[in-house]
Chain A
Amino acid sequence: DAGVIQSPRHEVTEMGQEVTLRCKPISGHDYLFWYRQTMMRGLELLIYFNNNVPIDDSGMPEDRFSAKMPNASFSTLKIQPSEPRDSAVYFCASSFRGFNEQFFGPGTRLTVL
């Protein structure tokens, strides 16, 4: 079975540009999570969905960040406009039931110049 799929794997963009990160969770999983990893702040949960509905977005840093899950097999994380401090690795993860282990995608390494 395919694991969590993220695209792109690497993204380099210039400050002010819109960035869209994509995620396909494992089929049958009802929870989807977006995390950000930086050296300074470690691994932070940004937002998570249950059955396509956002449950907790308290980790979203500011209004420039938005996430959607239009269906059970696809989610996007958008940053508009992007800033250099958004540079990080963004992970998507999914799980079956919220208390079970989360399976992580390979991550998207975002660099904002």
Chain B
Amino acid sequence: AQKVTQAQTEISVVEKEDVTLDCVYETRDTTYYLFWYKQPPSGELVFLIRRNSFDEQNEISGRYSWNFQKSTSSFNFTITASQVVDSAVYFCALSEANAGGTSYGKLTFGQGTILTVHP
């Protein structure tokens, strides 16, 4: 069964610090998809990034960057020069094929990491 572990329950940093959120996953599939979502205090879930299992290139988007390493089954997320607006719960998620191999919709979420950025 698929599993996503976000070992850091809560992280607290001061503005402008860099912070890395860890995500480790377990899957038996060779084809799968990884996601990061942000849930700000308002409660909605905001999509940040998707990665497929065949693309190990790191990605940078502004202050955000992601490091995908299949060898360690990790998909870590780094925020550079954090800001107060980055305060939120961040979820890592894994999508595997269903039993028939016809659909990849089933997302398994980690427990989330609460990030608090202090001014």
* A contacts, CB < 8 Å to B: 31, 33, 42-45, 48, 50, 55-56, 89, 91, 93, 95, 97-104, 106-107
Contacts and interface: CB of A to CB of B under 8 A. Distances in A.
**B-side binding surface: helix, strand, loop or mixed?**
strand
A45 B43 contact: no
Interface stretch (B19-27, B44-52, B72-80): B44-52
A79 to B, nearest CB: 20
Contact size range, B: 20 to 34
Given A42-B111, A42-B112, A55-B98, A98 B103 contact: yes
A31 B105 contact: yes
**A-side binding surface: helix, strand, loop or mixed?**
strand
A43 B109 contact: yes
A44 to B, nearest CB: 8
Contacts of B108: 45
Interface in B47-78: 47, 50, 52
Interface of B: 33, 35, 37, 43-47, 50, 52, 91, 95, 98, 103-112
Contacts of A55: 98, 103, 105
B50 A101 contact: yes
B47 to A, nearest CB: 4
Nearest to B93: A43
Contacts of A48: 105-106
Contacts of B50: 99-101
A46 to B, nearest CB: 11
A33 B93 CA distance: 14
Given A43-B109, A45-B106, A50-B105, A56 B98 contact: yes
B35 A101 contact: yes
Contacts of B111: 42
CB-based closest 7 A-B pairs: A98-B105, A99-B104, A104-B45, A43-B109, A98-B104, A101-B47, A98-B103
A64 B46 CA distance: 30
A23 to B, nearest CB: 14
